[in-house]
């Protein structure tokens, strides 16, 4: 009987030789994504509006031995997406991995939702991932390998008051993830969504400061606590890695069990 060869775990999770572009890289989840993908060996391209935050992060990654390129862009409108795509082309960059993490929320009750704020949230959370992926997919397709990870939310699966545009954008990103998976999958490009529960970052400072919300988390999340950005590192790396070669169109919920129980 031939000797059994056990799977080589290093290569299963290695991103050596890959370049990953992370939007929202100056924020909590995007920054954590950049760190873990860099730790797996990827070069990382850091995108957000605030250049000094990107610079600081790129410097920290550089000190840790990673290669990081800060690239500022405002993805809230199509001309910002186009400008980023132009800057990437000028720099000769064609990422293998795209993590669409830039996002915003408008915490408005139903009657206070306005068309401009609605458009702003949908523009950043849904339209930008659509057209940035459209621009970067041809190189992935030509290479026969690519990974797109859209950062969804448990609000891609459930509704919530005071978060109408956000909930609509995240439900839509779930649908877009699946439709892109259908079209890009045959070319070796896997498209999945990571759907976090409540993770402690700047986007929800107001909730972190609300004791009633903290009590709700303690009561409703089976793990009994807020998520930290580091809780997403393993799941995010998994989705980008060779280990997830047959995962396509999947919503990976990482919420401490919150949506699994009633
Ligand atoms: N934290 C959670 O509990 C949670 C749960 C589920 C899903 N999510 C999703 O996770 C993603 C990241 O959120 P986070 O928690 O990391 O929030 P965050 O810390 O507030 O980060 C948001 C990021 O988006 C960037 N951004 C905002 N507007 C932008 C624009 N117009 N153009 C380009 N970049 C822009 C911000 O950078 P600049 O301001 O410098 O541009 C920042 O890097 C979002 O899609 C969010 O919906 C978060």
Asked if the structure places residue 5 within a domain, the reply is: no
Locate the ligand 1 atom nearest the alpha carbon of residue 170 and give its number: 47
Angstrom distance (rounded) from CA 21 to CA 157: 26
Judge whether 1 lies within some domain. Answer: no
- The structure tokens listed for 33 are 């994504």
pTM beyond 0.95: the answer is yes
Q: How far is the CA of 3 from the centre of ligand 1 (A)?
A: 49
pLDDT of residue 2: 75
Closest to 196 (Cα-Cα) out of 244, 240, 235, 153: 153
Residue 87 falls inside a structural domain: yes
Range of the domain at 44: 12-252
What's the pLDDT at 7?
85
Is residue 261 assigned to a domain? no
Task: Tell me if 171 is assigned to some domain.
Answer: yes
- The yes-or-no answer on residue 246 being catalytic is no
Listed residue (126, 97, 76, 83) closest to 34, CA to CA: 97
d(CA 186, ligand 1 centre) in Å: 30
Say if 4 falls within a structural domain.
no
Residue 260 lies in a domain: no
- Spatial neighbors of 154 by CB under 8 A, at least 6 apart, are 195, 196, 197, 253, 255, 258, 259
Residues of the chain with pLDDT under 70: none
For residue 162, the domain's CATH number is 3.40.50.720
Q: Taking the chain, what is the end-to-end CA distance rounded to the nearest angstrom?
A: 50
Residues 131 and 138: beta-carbon distance below 8 Å: no
* Residue nearest (by alpha carbon) to ligand 1 atom 6: 153
- For a mutational test of ligand 1's pocket, the pick from 21, 22, 29, 199, i.e. the residue with the most ligand atoms closer than 8 A to its C-beta, is 29
Q: What is the pLDDT of residue 197?
A: 98
Is residue 17, in this structure, part of any structural domain at all?
Answer: yes
Q: What is the C-alpha separation between 243 and 11, in angstroms, rounded? A: 9
Nearest-CA residue for atom 8 of ligand 1: 153
CA of 2 to the centre of ligand 1 (A): 51
22 C-alpha to center of ligand 1: Å?
11
Number of structural domains in the chain: 1
- Residue 191 has what pLDDT? 99
Closest CA to 160 of 220, 209, 200: 220
For a pocket test of ligand 1, which of 48, 50, 128 has the largest count of ligand atoms closer than 8 A to its C-beta?
A: 48
Q: Pick the catalytic residue: 26, 57, 102, 166?
A: 166
Cα 106 to chain centroid distance, Å, stands at: 19
Hey, which of 22, 23, 24 would you mutate to test ligand 1's pocket, going by the most ligand atoms within 8 Å of its Cβ? 24
DSSP-H helix ranges across the chain? 9-12, 28-39, 51-63, 78-90, 115-122, 128-143, 164-184, 205-208, 211-220, 233-240
């Amino acid at each position: 009987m031939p000797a059994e060869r056990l799977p080589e775990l290093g290569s299963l999770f290695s991103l050596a030789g890959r370049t990953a572009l992370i939007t929202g890289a100056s924020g909590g989840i995007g920054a954590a994504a950049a760190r873990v993908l860099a730790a797996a060996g990827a070069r990382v391209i850091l995108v957000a509006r605030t250049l000094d935050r990107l610079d600081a992060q790129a410097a920290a990654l550089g000190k840790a031995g990673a290669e990081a390129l800060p690239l500022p862009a405002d993805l809230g409108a199509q001309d910002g997406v186009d400008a980023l795509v132009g800057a990437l082309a000028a720099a000769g960059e064609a990422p293998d991995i795209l993590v669409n993490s830039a996002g915003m929320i408008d915490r408005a009750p139903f009657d206070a939702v306005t068309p401009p704020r609605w458009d702003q949230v949908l523009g950043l959370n849904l339209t930008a991932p659509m057209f940035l992926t459209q621009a970067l997919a041809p190189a992935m397709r030509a290479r026969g390998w690519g990974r797109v990870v859209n950062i969804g939310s448990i609000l891609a699966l459930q509704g919530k008051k005071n978060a109408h545009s956000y909930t609509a954008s995240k439900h839509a990103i779930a649908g877009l993830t699946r439709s892109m998976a259908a079209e890009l999958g045959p070319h070796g490009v896997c498209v999945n969504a990571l759907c976090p529960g409540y993770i402690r970052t700047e986007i929800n400072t107001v909730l972190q400061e609300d004791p009633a919300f903290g009590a709700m988390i303690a009561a409703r999340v089976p793990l009994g606590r807020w998520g930290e950005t580091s809780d997403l590192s393993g799941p995010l790396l998994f989705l980008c890695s060779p280990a997830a070669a047959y995962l396509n169109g999947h919503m990976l919920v990482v919420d401490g069990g919150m949506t699994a129980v009633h």
